[in-house]
Structure 1
């Protein structure tokens, strides 16, 4: 009997390879008996960097395929505070083999904390993509894009993709052509996904994409997800470090930052020196440390402080 292959897609560059390795390590460690084919979509990484990532994947009997794609054809698309390579997510059906009928896309600023079987195998017979809804800020985004508030606007960090149905859509209108037509109203790839796949998106439970905003003392979350929140915070399946001060900075206050360090120690980047994200005076740093300590003890309750 041939083992099932789990196709995992991620986008990264030289600056984020260490974090890619941590995410993949967490995926492998929590899905130890699965066969993975990892597709890394990149604008280019060093040969030595690819070799290190290949060695990590081989350690877990996973296959790694690096797909290098030029950003030249995407250079006129808006990027805001992000990077052009975010649009590589839209190229998944083109860059993966034609006989690949399903994949799971994962951002690299994540830790996978559970068995992904139910996520990967979910029913997509009537949809093209399954993903978690974005935070309430998307209300304004929907207005800007001309979407109804009942239309889905997702966080694209975790996406289960029905590639057969996606390719069928591509035959009618290639997604990159579509993106160029609407480039005057979009700011990132999530806008494109919301418009291109309108009516063809399945919404995932929040536990599959627990962003930093959900861990805040006053979480940025739609009220309809509040019944899921306590369990998802205590037992998150995927932790998405979607915030400026990520766990590879010394001053990160995320409640699951230690998981990043745990998996980092299992990689060749284990001797990484954690820098400080925020430049402060000694007095400013001292006040911040005291404030964070008081938050941990519950003596003050900062709305933006992250808790389990």
Structure 2
């Protein structure tokens, strides 16, 4: 009998060992129990010990893990100077996701990409099954970037790759690269991996790193092959949702509803729930899944940011995100 796999790809270095394990725990907790989750990890710094820790979840769940060390592929990113990124805490590991388009096994016809700082609080099997052969991807549009595109995405108006966005941004919107489902069979037919590498060769250090690359290649060239999911599938937990969203691709009603009922929580921003209590929203959700993971004995952080009081969270995050980033 053919195994009913649902494929996932997560990437990271040794700083993301625990978050990735918690993300995997959340996926397994909510997935249709008749399916087998297969996780492809594109990593540096993950030892056999860490992989064996993830495999402790096999006592409760039916899944497979394939760890693929990416050291042999690092030269593909030689032109990247991560210090030129607008986001000071991002590492080269954010580019590892490109490898999913090239090195995953041939029997992987489609695959979710999930950022390691996410919690999946829904069954993704329905979306997985609904990606038809004629479509390239399911993705979520980035509402903050779209709302403030003249400032946050000012660089897109200067790059030839984003001419479609410049002419009609609602038809060619800017997607968030932390969560998407890709039809790998079609992606290989269209040489997506080669196009991604070509872009970083020509434009190696764009402000929002891999997300700009994915948008330039997939979002801009193949918009007609993308189904745009509602924003509940990528709700930022460090974003001020009280601001107006009247020109953000989605309606303000949908954005507000999605924020109140997230399907996927994205702990974007520098301050993660595993290293500070300053996470703006849904701090306890991450810790709920941590307690279901093999790292359940980990204690809540006590770390505070110097000079920032708890009641200053909203002000600080509004300034932070409007100033530099929409990215993780």
Q: Shorter-normalised TM-score: what interval?
A: 0.7 to 0.9
Q: What is residue 14 of structure 1 aligned with on the other side?
A: 14
TM-score, normalised relative to structure 2: 0.79
Superposed, which structure 2 residues align to 1:13-32 within 5 Å?
13-32=13-32
Q: What is residue 139 of structure 1 aligned with on the other side?
A: 153
1:204-245 CA-to-partner distances (Å, cap 9, x unmatched) read 210111113555332678163312123212221101111222
1:38-59 CA-to-partner distances (Å, cap 9, x unmatched) read 0000123122112111222564
Number of equivalent positions = 293
Paired with 1:161 and 1:289, the residues of 2 have a C-alpha distance of 39
Q: Looking at CA atoms only, which structure, 1 or 2, has the larger radius of gyration?
A: 1
Aligned-pair CA distance for 1:94? 1.7
Q: CA RMSD in A?
A: 2.8
Q: What is residue 298 of structure 1 aligned with on the other side?
A: none
TM-aligned CA distance change 1:192 to 1:172, over 3 Å: closer
Aligned-pair CA distance for 1:120? 1.6
Counterpart contact for 2:76–2:197, Cα < 8 Å: no
Structure 2 counterpart SS, 1:104: strand
Which structure has more relative contact order (CA 8 Å, sep 6+)? It is 2
Q: What is residue 76 of structure 1 aligned with on the other side?
A: 79
Counterpart contact for 2:41–2:67, Cα < 8 Å: yes
Paired with 1:213 and 1:144, the residues of 2 have a C-alpha distance of 28
Aligned-pair CA distance for 1:100? 1.2
Paired with 1:223 and 1:76, the residues of 2 have a C-alpha distance of 33
Q: What is residue 131 of structure 2 aligned with on the other side?
A: 123
1:171-192 CA-to-partner distances (Å, cap 9, x unmatched) read 8945323421332656511111
Paired with 1:241 and 1:141, the residues of 2 have a C-alpha distance of 25
Paired with 2:206 and 2:116, the residues of 1 have a C-alpha distance of 27
Q: What is residue 190 of structure 1 aligned with on the other side?
A: 211
Give unmatched runs, 5+ long, in structure 2.
Answer: 320-328
Q: What is residue 50 of structure 2 aligned with on the other side?
A: 49
Give unmatched runs, 5+ long, in structure 1.
Answer: 296-300
Paired with 2:107 and 2:279, the residues of 1 have a C-alpha distance of 43
Counterpart contact for 1:206–1:225, Cα < 8 Å: no
